Chains A and B, each alone.
Chain A
Amino acid sequence: MKQDKAATPITEKSLFYWAFKDNLKLQIILLLIIVLIVFARVIPLEMQKRIINDSIALRNIKGLFLYCAIYIIAITTASALKLAINYLQALIGERAMTTMRKDLYNHILTLSLGFFRTTQPGMVVSSLMTELSTAGTFAGMAFAVPVTNILTLLAFSGYLLWLNPKLAGATLLIYPAVFFVIPILQKKANEANKQRVDLSRTVSSQIAESISGIHEIQVHGAYRQEGRKFDNLAEQLKKIRIRWSLFRFGIKTANNYFVGLGPFVVFIFGGYLVMHGELALGSMVAFLSAQEKLFDPWKELIDFYQTYQDASVRYRRTMSYFDSVPEFSIAPLDAFAQPLAGSLEVNNLIYETSDGHRLLNGLTFSLGAGEHLAVVGYSGGGKSTLIQCIGKMFNYTAGSIQLDNRELSTLTKYESIQHIGYISQNPFIFTGSIEENLLYAYKAATEAAVAPPTEEMKIDLDRMILVLQQVGLFVDVMRFGLDSFIAPDDEKTADKILRIRHRFREGFEVKLADYVEFYSQDDYHVNSNVAENILFGTSPKEAFSYSLLSDNADFRSFLQSEDLLQPLFNLGIELAGQAVDILAGVGTVDLFFKNSPVPADRLEECEKILIRLKKHPFSSLSSQNQSFLLSLALNFTPSIHTMSRLPRQLKESILSARKIFPQWSQSIGPDLFTSYRDTSYIHGQSILNNIFFGRIKPGLPHAQEIINQSIMHLLVEQDYLEKIAAFGMHFQVGTMGDRLSGGQKQKLAIARVLLKQPKIILMDEATSALDNKSQARIQRLMTTRWKGKRTVIAAVHRMDIIESFDKVAVMKAGKLIEFGTYQELIAQKGILHELIYGRK
């Protein structure tokens, strides 16, 4: 595969290349089967002849059975072989398409960033998923279809010639006529088709333009004008489509007509020959069948021809779109990268965009290994461009960047990623776990090298934890771990956590009493929902899980007996009413529904129920509606769903129902529920809740820190910190990391670069989303850990942090206007002074 790439880029490969690449064996098997099937198709014709001539005419019953048996075997075999061909064809097609997709995708990933600036993601998606699938289907049939059909045609024609050369010659004479007429029609059809495609595109862009300019159209009242434009195009399109259809059907009809002439020739000329004894009747029957069968392969060939035209046009268009050469060589390393000290020499560096805009204009400076440089200046001054140039995100136009006297542009991408770590302002976090994201850059760097990682590069949990601590993400990861659930069969962990709970009770319960609502048999828990307050336990049985309780008839009868059912229905109605009052009519914004007892997609249902209840009694509601209202009430958690309050009376009824509940559940079935007990693990609740045996009270910002401290303390004491951190590492960050905050994303981005220990760290306002504390932590990390060891170049917009850098560069309009130590620049009272203290 590597050699292929060196020869021709994949975007210039022909469509047939994919049909044979890695599929040669399959194609040969296919060819063998095709030869067999052609035989299997000719045999029935011969049998037909013999049945009539040798058996029926001669009343040879034995022969009849024999020939019929061969006949049936032949057509059965033919069908089976046909299935095999179709399967192989599909297999080859899918394989070809998959390789095509994979290769093209890998090619696209390496294209220059400039290419993506002008390319919509949707374009790439549709190219890979839709456009290529036609090409793939074609690749599957590229070999099989023409070969099968040509061979079949030849075999049938040969058989006919063998039967009777005269008659065969007469019938086959039709085909040259077809050869003459069809291509003419096809050419016209193609032309019409091309016009149709072009015009369709014009119509589409016309529609797109009008819709995006709808404001302008409406404000000018230019409905008719726009309408006319569209009408005109639509009319043209109609005409062309009609023409196109006419030619297409013309081809079909002409084809059918000519082939239909076949039997005519057979009847008139064959009949004549039979009458004159030059042809047996059986042969004429065989002739008729063969004649008819000539039509199928013929038609398939024509179809193939049309598909080929279509597929190759689409394929070319798709491939030519991505036909550009990657900016950097990405050849893997032969050996582990040479160690680098990290000095940097930039000389007369120039970067021009493709339209001639000069973003970097002759930069010259040098930086010793381990030195830290802050790049400041006006926005648009070229700070990010400089950093991205050094990060090899695009090639510089002129000048040089040298790392330890090696020119950056001569390093392959794989070599440069060993040494250079880049942290952007808006880092992209990928779907997956924290751990996967943490290892992202590290893996890329180590996979690129053939040699095994050195001792320094080895990763274990401790290293990951250390890095997380350095960037200040460790506490967050611990929280993710504490908020996670353990597997129901993980007894060992459950036991350990119960022991930790016990220790927690001894050491921290009093300290945290203000922030945590502890479970207690006698109290109503405002941080738990109504159902949990009644049950005060969980059920291992699916039918008694919280989400299904409202449908559970047994449970309902329990509520009835405790006089809870109607009050809960009323609560449900109240909640539905509040939710509709506040949220009906506003968009389904997640933020709005976060604390709503009614999810966004069920608000409409609430409205319908409420309208019905205005005129009809409660009992007239369908059982579904009743169950829905009950589920709202059972799910109601006062501290979250602040739009309503829990009536006092109801609260007391619930507490008294709780006391009776265990007895009742025993009467329904043994071990249906496990009550919350100090000594047992609550599955279905987070590790943290299990340690607390309770829940955190919301709305207490300072609680977080105190709780974190206590829990960390406890976990260290119990030697369980790493285990919980490992749980947290598996936290799924969501699509593009949307379950993380901006600060968390940035910290993760810093951590993932740190983990690969690059000699040169590039930071493009990498701490801008961090709060003061976290920013200070990174700052501290830089001065204490990196100074003298790792070269840092950081674009910075906050002036209060640059004092600790060794050098400061001030940029304006692509030029370096000041460069020196902080003290020097301040003393000279130039631009840096102005940037910091303002214009005097």
Chain B
Amino acid sequence: MQQNLELLKDVNLFSFFPDKAMKLLAFLAERTRLATGDILFEEGDDHGRAYLILSGQLSLSKQNNDERVVIQHYEEGDFLGSFSLLGAMPALFTLQASTETTVLTINREQFSKILEQFPETTKLSLKALLKELNQWERKNLYQAEACCLGRTGATVL
């Protein structure tokens, strides 16, 4: 659990959380061992979970007609699924383990109960999320080719 705590402290979403809430979060988080090919969620699922990768690799893919296109790989230390903790959100992609992987899982119910217990954390996690969204778009703006700039603009939604 102590280990969980140290790992979760590095996650942006929780960076502003008070110690007590962090401890509770670390206690509730579940360690899961995945075999290669295990699916964490599929397109259309409202899985309501966020994952912190402790070891191994996950791959995000999208079914495109008959073939599966891998979009992104996630490595040790990556945290994904922040948004799905906040409320219902059907997945647009499929996430699956590409090697033997260990993840730390937090689900929506746990997260929302913590927000209830520590009301100040709602604001703090929003703050962290906005910051992240801003950084993400900024990065995209610099990297995207001119053709794809039309797809940016999440921060002005």
Indicate which residue in B24, B33, B43 contacts A583 across the interface (CB closer than 8 Å). Answer: B24
Q: Which of A134-142, A268-276, A618-626, A698-706 contacts B (4 or more CB under 8 A)?
A: A698-706
Please classify how large the interface on chain A is, using the bins under 10, 10 to 19, 20 to 34, 35 or more. Answer: 20 to 34
- Indicate whether B7 reaches chain A with its CB closer than 8 angstroms: no
**Closest B residue to A591 using CB positions:** B113
Which residues on A sit within 8 Å (CB–CB) of B45? 771-772
A591 to B107, CA, bound (A): 11
Asked if B24 and A772 make an inter-chain contact with CB atoms under 8 angstroms apart, the answer reads no
A771 to B45, CA, bound (A): 6
Asked if A582 and B113 make an inter-chain contact with CB atoms under 8 angstroms apart, the answer reads no
- Indicate whether A592 reaches chain B with its CB closer than 8 angstroms: yes
Asked if B32 and A643 make an inter-chain contact with CB atoms under 8 angstroms apart, the answer reads no
- Indicate whether A506 reaches chain B with its CB closer than 8 angstroms: no
Asked if B28 and A592 make an inter-chain contact with CB atoms under 8 angstroms apart, the answer reads yes
Asked if B44 and A702 make an inter-chain contact with CB atoms under 8 angstroms apart, the answer reads no
**Closest A residue to B20 using CB positions:** A585
Indicate which residue in B1, B27, B33, B35 contacts A699 across the interface (CB closer than 8 Å). Answer: B33
Which residues on B sit within 8 Å (CB–CB) of A643? 1, 27
Indicate which residue in A583, A586, A699, A771 contacts B30 across the interface (CB closer than 8 Å). Answer: A699
A585 to B23, CA, bound (A): 13
Asked if B31 and A699 make an inter-chain contact with CB atoms under 8 angstroms apart, the answer reads yes
Indicate which residue in A591, A644, A700 contacts B28 across the interface (CB closer than 8 Å). Answer: A591
- Indicate whether B72 reaches chain A with its CB closer than 8 angstroms: no
Give chain A interface residues in 615-661, CB to chain B under 8 Å.
642-644
Which residues on B sit within 8 Å (CB–CB) of A586? 20, 24, 117
A339 to B22, CA, bound (A): 63
**Closest A residue to B32 using CB positions:** A699
| Shortest Cβ distance from residue A577 to the other chain B in the assembled complex, whole angstroms | 13
| Shortest Cβ distance from residue A708 to the other chain B in the assembled complex, whole angstroms | 15
**Closest A residue to B29 using CB positions:** A642
- Indicate whether A570 reaches chain B with its CB closer than 8 angstroms: no
A699 to B33, CA, bound (A): 6
- Indicate whether B42 reaches chain A with its CB closer than 8 angstroms: yes
- Indicate whether A589 reaches chain B with its CB closer than 8 angstroms: yes
Which residues on B sit within 8 Å (CB–CB) of A582? 23-24, 27
**Closest B residue to A775 using CB positions:** B44
Asked if A800 and B44 make an inter-chain contact with CB atoms under 8 angstroms apart, the answer reads yes
A592 to B45, CA, bound (A): 25
Asked if B1 and A642 make an inter-chain contact with CB atoms under 8 angstroms apart, the answer reads yes
Asked if B32 and A700 make an inter-chain contact with CB atoms under 8 angstroms apart, the answer reads yes
- Indicate whether A798 reaches chain B with its CB closer than 8 angstroms: yes
Indicate which residue in B24, B42, B43, B44 contacts A592 across the interface (CB closer than 8 Å). Answer: B24
Give chain B interface residues in 1-44, CB to chain A under 8 Å.
1, 20, 23-24, 27-28, 30-35, 38, 42-44
- Indicate whether B109 reaches chain A with its CB closer than 8 angstroms: yes
Asked if B109 and A581 make an inter-chain contact with CB atoms under 8 angstroms apart, the answer reads no
A614 to B116, CA, bound (A): 33
A629 to B110, CA, bound (A): 28
| Shortest Cβ distance from residue A579 to the other chain B in the assembled complex, whole angstroms | 9
- Indicate whether A595 reaches chain B with its CB closer than 8 angstroms: yes
Which residues on B sit within 8 Å (CB–CB) of A669? none
**Closest B residue to A581 using CB positions:** B23
Which residues on B sit within 8 Å (CB–CB) of A800? 44
| Shortest Cβ distance from residue A788 to the other chain B in the assembled complex, whole angstroms | 28
A800 to B44, CA, bound (A): 10
Which residues on A sit within 8 Å (CB–CB) of B33? 699-700
Please classify how large the interface on chain B is, using the bins under 10, 10 to 19, 20 to 34, 35 or more. Answer: 20 to 34
Asked if B113 and A592 make an inter-chain contact with CB atoms under 8 angstroms apart, the answer reads yes
Interface string of A584-598 (1 = CB under 8 A from B): 011101011001000
Which residues on A sit within 8 Å (CB–CB) of B109? 591
Which residues on B sit within 8 Å (CB–CB) of A587? 116-117
Indicate which residue in B1, B20, B34, B110 contacts A701 across the interface (CB closer than 8 Å). Answer: B34
A586 to B115, CA, bound (A): 11
**Closest B residue to A642 using CB positions:** B1
**Closest A residue to B94 using CB positions:** A772
**Closest A residue to B27 using CB positions:** A582
| Shortest Cβ distance from residue A748 to the other chain B in the assembled complex, whole angstroms | 20
A595 to B110, CA, bound (A): 12
| Shortest Cβ distance from residue B46 to the other chain A in the assembled complex, whole angstroms | 9
Q: Given the interface contacts A591-B113, A643-B27, does A772 sit within 8 Å of B32 by beta carbon? A: no
Which residues on A sit within 8 Å (CB–CB) of B42? 771-772
| Shortest Cβ distance from residue A99 to the other chain B in the assembled complex, whole angstroms | 46
Which residues on A sit within 8 Å (CB–CB) of B110? 591
Indicate which residue in A591, A595, A772 contacts B43 across the interface (CB closer than 8 Å). Answer: A772
A701 to B45, CA, bound (A): 16
Interface string of A483-503 (1 = CB under 8 A from B): 000000000000000000000
A800 to B38, CA, bound (A): 24
A208 to B33, CA, bound (A): 53
Which residues on A sit within 8 Å (CB–CB) of B28? 591-592, 595
| Shortest Cβ distance from residue B39 to the other chain A in the assembled complex, whole angstroms | 9
| Shortest Cβ distance from residue B63 to the other chain A in the assembled complex, whole angstroms | 11
**Closest A residue to B44 using CB positions:** A772
| Shortest Cβ distance from residue B151 to the other chain A in the assembled complex, whole angstroms | 15
Asked if A702 and B38 make an inter-chain contact with CB atoms under 8 angstroms apart, the answer reads yes
Asked if B1 and A589 make an inter-chain contact with CB atoms under 8 angstroms apart, the answer reads no
Which residues on A sit within 8 Å (CB–CB) of B43? 772
| Shortest Cβ distance from residue A774 to the other chain B in the assembled complex, whole angstroms | 11
Asked if B117 and A589 make an inter-chain contact with CB atoms under 8 angstroms apart, the answer reads yes
Which residues on B sit within 8 Å (CB–CB) of A798? 44
A582 to B23, CA, bound (A): 6
Which residues on A sit within 8 Å (CB–CB) of B20? 585-586
A701 to B96, CA, bound (A): 12
| Shortest Cβ distance from residue B42 to the other chain A in the assembled complex, whole angstroms | 5
Interface string of B103-116 (1 = CB under 8 A from A): 00000011001001
Which residues on A sit within 8 Å (CB–CB) of B38? 701-702
A589 to B110, CA, bound (A): 10
A643 to B43, CA, bound (A): 34
Q: Given the interface contacts A589-B113, A700-B32, does A595 sit within 8 Å of B44 by beta carbon? A: no
Give chain A interface residues in 548-588, CB to chain B under 8 Å.
581-583, 585-587
Give chain B interface residues in 45-80, CB to chain A under 8 Å.
45
Asked if A595 and B27 make an inter-chain contact with CB atoms under 8 angstroms apart, the answer reads yes
| Shortest Cβ distance from residue A804 to the other chain B in the assembled complex, whole angstroms | 16
| Shortest Cβ distance from residue A587 to the other chain B in the assembled complex, whole angstroms | 6
A800 to B28, CA, bound (A): 35
| Shortest Cβ distance from residue A607 to the other chain B in the assembled complex, whole angstroms | 15
Which residues on B sit within 8 Å (CB–CB) of A583? 24, 27
Q: Given the interface contacts A700-B33, A701-B34, does A642 sit within 8 Å of B113 by beta carbon? A: no
A702 to B20, CA, bound (A): 33
| Shortest Cβ distance from residue B133 to the other chain A in the assembled complex, whole angstroms | 23
Asked if A642 and B117 make an inter-chain contact with CB atoms under 8 angstroms apart, the answer reads no
Indicate which residue in A592, A642, A644, A702 contacts B34 across the interface (CB closer than 8 Å). Answer: A702
Which residues on A sit within 8 Å (CB–CB) of B30? 699
**Closest B residue to A698 using CB positions:** B30
| Shortest Cβ distance from residue B37 to the other chain A in the assembled complex, whole angstroms | 9
| Shortest Cβ distance from residue A773 to the other chain B in the assembled complex, whole angstroms | 8
Interface string of A198-234 (1 = CB under 8 A from B): 0000000000000000000000000000000000000
| Shortest Cβ distance from residue B50 to the other chain A in the assembled complex, whole angstroms | 15
| Shortest Cβ distance from residue A576 to the other chain B in the assembled complex, whole angstroms | 15
Interface string of A697-722 (1 = CB under 8 A from B): 00111100000000000000000000
| Shortest Cβ distance from residue A767 to the other chain B in the assembled complex, whole angstroms | 11
| Shortest Cβ distance from residue B17 to the other chain A in the assembled complex, whole angstroms | 14
Query: Would you mind naming 18 contact pairs between A and B with Cβ atoms under 8 Å apart?
Result: A582-B24, A583-B24, A586-B117, A587-B116, A591-B109, A591-B110, A592-B24, A592-B113, A595-B28, A642-B1, A699-B33, A700-B32, A701-B32, A702-B35, A702-B38, A772-B45, A798-B44, A800-B44
Beyond A644-B1, A699-B32, A702-B34: 16 further Cβ-contacts under 8 Å?
Answer: A582-B23, A582-B24, A582-B27, A583-B24, A585-B20, A587-B116, A591-B110, A592-B24, A595-B27, A699-B31, A699-B33, A700-B32, A700-B33, A701-B38, A702-B35, A771-B42
Closest 5 CB pairs of A and B: A586-B117, A702-B38, A699-B32, A582-B27, A582-B23
Interface residues of A, Cβ cutoff 8 Å to B: 581-583, 585-587, 589, 591-592, 595, 642-644, 699-702, 771-772, 798, 800
